Amino acid sequence: MEKSRRKPVTFRYLLYNYRGVLFNVLFFVYILTAKIPLVKTVAGVMELNQTNIVVGLILIVVTFAELVGIHLKLPVLNSRIGKGEIKRFALFFVIWVFHIVVNMSLVIFGLKAAGIFFENERLSWLPVVFAVFVVLKEIYLLMYFWARPRIKRKVPEARLVIRELTGDALIFCWSAVAFTVTWVYGASAGLVQPGNVLVIILQLVGAMLIFLMMFLPLRLLQFYEEWTTPRTKSQKLWTWLSLSASILAAILILILNLPRW
């Protein structure tokens, strides 16, 4: 009797079973390599009060890109995983609240970079409009998650894969820009300032809380997928390992930007 052979690990297998891990790995690579130019540009705009319409548009457009990405991905995802309840809905709700904070920060940075903030009296109403838009968008997203939309008509699998990958790409672009602007720029601006040991420890704790507020929402859709489907021990292990690597890389940014006393 022949021993059963293990199926070869293909890209398609990884794509369906380790999508969250792939997201974490790509994010880890992004943290270490691709963030620098955007950080310098954003820092220049914010610290020197420069106007950069391109940066402003990028920061605002990515909030729309994420919405489009979720619309593309979520119905395909739900059709693939079937019915299932979010196991940690309370935690998911908290992360969703932080998701509002991240998108609100992006819009504020974007309007400031484009020179359209409260300093411009003629356009002082625009930030309020965008703030209302962000809140309505986030409420809509929560209801969209709750509705569990699915693909109702028969569609070729290749088209579904392309649709979901396109959604993943848009969501990743939003996550990368949001992380760079909120956390990397914040760390570079100096979240921890000189002081006695107790003050420094309190500042570090505060910085870690801010980090969690800014980082966890970037994986909102990955958490949704992981918390609505049964996971093997291997999937859980690789998810935590890859997520820990991304978190450590992000914290390293803070450590490298600590003031030299």
**Lowest mean per-residue pLDDT among 21-30, 68-77, 142-151, 209-218:** 142-151
What is the C-alpha to C-alpha distance for residues 251 and 211, in angstroms, rounded to an integer?
A: 8
**Mean of the per-residue pLDDT values of the chain:** 79
Q: C-alpha distances in angstroms, 183 versus 141, 152, 202, 207, 218? A: 23, 39, 18, 10, 11
The pLDDT tens digits for 57-105 are 888 889 889 999 998 988 888 887 776 667 788 888 999 999 999 998 8
The sign of the CA dihedral 161, 166, 169, 174 is negative
pLDDT for residue 218 is more than 80 = yes
Report if residue 6 sits inside a domain.
Answer: no
Domain membership of residue 53 as a residue range: 11-256
Supply 16's token pair.
Answer: 């369906």
pLDDT of 94 reads 92
Greatest mean pLDDT among 15-19, 53-57, 163-167: 163-167
Q: Is residue 237 part of a domain?
A: yes
Nearest to 109 by CA among 39, 29, 168: 39
Does residue 189 register a pLDDT over 80? no
**Predicted confidence (pLDDT) at residue 48 exceeds the cutoff of 70:** no
Residue 94 lies in a domain: yes
Residue 261: pLDDT over 60: no
Q: With respect to residue 81, please indicate whether it lies within any of the assigned structural domains.
A: yes
> How many domains, the chain?
1
Read off the pLDDT of residues 119-134 as tens digits, 9 standing for 90 and up: 656 666 777 788 888 8
The answer as to whether 72 is a domain residue is: yes
Contact 170, 65 (CB under 8 A): yes
Q: With cut-offs at 50, 70 and 90, classify the pLDDT of residue 258.
A: low
Long-range contacts of 93-99 (CB under 8 A, 24+ apart): 93/142, 95/216, 95/217, 95/220, 95/223, 96/138, 96/141, 96/142, 96/217, 96/220, 98/212, 98/213, 98/214, 98/216, 98/217, 99/138, 99/141, 99/217, 99/220
Angle at 198 between CA 192 and CA 202, to 5 degrees: 50
Residue 182 lies in a domain: yes
Q: Is residue 173 part of a domain?
A: yes
Considering the domain boundaries, does residue 135 fall inside one? yes
